[in-house]
Chain A
């Protein structure tokens, strides 16, 4: 027998019991337990990663907050009503979620492909949907912290006055917005499976135009019905509009649709995006395998 303490015959009996690996089976989760285990496993690096790398406090909170301040000062320079400053603070906080969905959900499978992890994900005996859900949950928790910090600091700095008309509706709107938004992210992640270098540019392109049409810094109602309706495809458009109606005094008069209608629409978006994400992921995965794009590295 080998004297090497790391040799397999020395290590395995202690790990699998005195009788060795063949006599005792490893406990393996299956079904919903495996699904949950996968979700937690993929969410873990998202949450723990930011604890280990503190520079995100500067890059993800302070710098976006300064951009928010710039837009607030524009409103102050042109003597805008006070509530518009609150609109910018809330919109600025919500940009954190859009950035997270864009760069850490939609593009994530592209990054994984670049890193060489995607093939490992596919061959792992678990669900890709669970991996995406883990990504979403981890990203959502981490981003909520950032968004909250931006709201708290922005509100304190600019003395934003809130007049919440219904906490229950506000909570419902936020949850539905997040579920549908991350559903959209999961759906687009499957599309990105087929993309190569253009993925980066598409994500880059989907910033300012979305800030514009989703009304991150002003009420979307000003665009008129049809443009606002088209922009409502992005859940943040309806979510932001409903949140502003619920937390600002002048909000209801500047709202695009009533909060109830927006909640119903968000609910529909949740179902549509999550269902479509599931279908598209299965389809795109097959397509990517068939076309040999899972390990493709066209740089």
Chain B
């Protein structure tokens, strides 16, 4: 007769939850414990506010400070929520380079009883949390000082939270794709997550309507899930501003959500297979403990 598993073993967390929780805790320590909490808070606020201020100044110079125009709210909110893109994608993909080249622990992760993709997603949690604070403060700053037209009473909260949740999962899957690619590339000055986020800034209609792009580039915007995600967030927060721009006027909220969920599933499938493939190539070529800081 086979021995029964002890009660404590049955209650042990699965490899996925264990990997995720431990990685999230580790990520938070790495992100935050290099300084005292006050300095960390200042650091977390200055960077996103400065990024938003660049756009505010650009807009202000050209329009002589006409912040009441719907395009300003469009730009400001798009830019604020786009902070999540850089945070989540780079949080996950950077963990590969950080562990491989800085801490030199990636090889140990591969021999530890964890699920590596889950571990990497967990490492992105800290940046997601810091990103959330940045998004919140940027929007509050805009509402208080720059006439960004967000009214708490008119916000479609269910749409907002459901879009946000699906969007974060979608970004995590994109981050995992980049993490796979990071296994095969050297350590660049431009961090791949930030760099790709910067590139997608162009095509996602984050800071200008997609109609501004040349006609031959616009289709790229329509296959990027971030475009649909940002539209849903704008519609949930300020419906009138979203309605002022014709990009997705023919699509209802439900249709937009359906497209976003569909693309998220597609990216999840790509992430799963691509990460496996990159991991295999990295192991074959002996890149798991590569150090390339030239």
Contacts and interface: CB of A to CB of B under 8 A. Distances in A.
A212 B57 contact: yes
Contact of A114 (B34, B59, B102, B202): B102
A257 interface: no
B26 interface: no
Given A205-B43, A209-B47, A70 B207 contact: yes
B209 interface: yes
Given A111-B293, A218-B57, A64 B190 contact: yes
B140 interface: no
Contacts of A73: 202, 207-208, 212-213
Interface string B50-69: 11011101111111000000
Contacts of A49: 294
B199 A75 contact: no
Given A49-B294, A59-B195, A212-B50, A78 B59 contact: yes
Contacts of B75: 74, 77
A104 interface: yes
A60 B46 CA distance: 25
Given A55-B186, A212-B57, A218-B57, A76 B212 contact: yes
A93 to B, nearest CB: 14
Interface in A54-87: 55-56, 59-60, 62-64, 66-67, 69-71, 73-80, 84
A103 B50 contact: no
A71 to B, nearest CB: 7
A198 B43 CA distance: 11
A66 B71 CA distance: 21
Contact of A56 (B53, B188, B196): B188
A103 B71 contact: no
Contact of B189 (A99, A201, A205): A99
Q: How large is the interface on B (under 10, 10 to 19, 20 to 34, 35 or more residues)?
A: 35 or more
Interface in B192-234: 192, 195-196, 198-199, 201-202, 206-209, 212-213
A217 interface: yes
Interface string A218-234: 11001100000000000
A299 interface: yes
Contacts of B291: 115
Contacts, number: 123
B53 A212 contact: yes
The number of chain A residues touching the other chain, given as a range, is 35 or more
Interface in A98-156: 99-100, 103-104, 111, 114-115
A211 interface: yes
Nearest to B54: A212
A149 B29 CA distance: 39
Given A45-B294, A99-B190, A212-B54, A69 B47 contact: no
Contacts of B54: 208, 211-212, 216-218
Interface string A179-217: 000000000000000001110010011011101100011
Contacts of B250: none
A217 to B, nearest CB: 6
B103 interface: yes
A4 interface: no
Contacts of B265: none
B12 to A, nearest CB: 30
Contacts of B199: 62-63, 66-67
Interface of A: 45-46, 49, 53, 55-56, 59-60, 62-64, 66-67, 69-71, 73-80, 84, 99-100, 103-104, 111, 114-115, 196-198, 201, 204-205, 207-209, 211-212, 216-219, 222-223, 299
Given A66-B202, A77-B212, A198-B34, 5 more contacts: A64-B198, A100-B189, A204-B47, A207-B47, A217-B54
Nearest first, the 4 A-B pairs at minimum CB distance are A77-B208, A208-B50, A66-B199, A67-B198
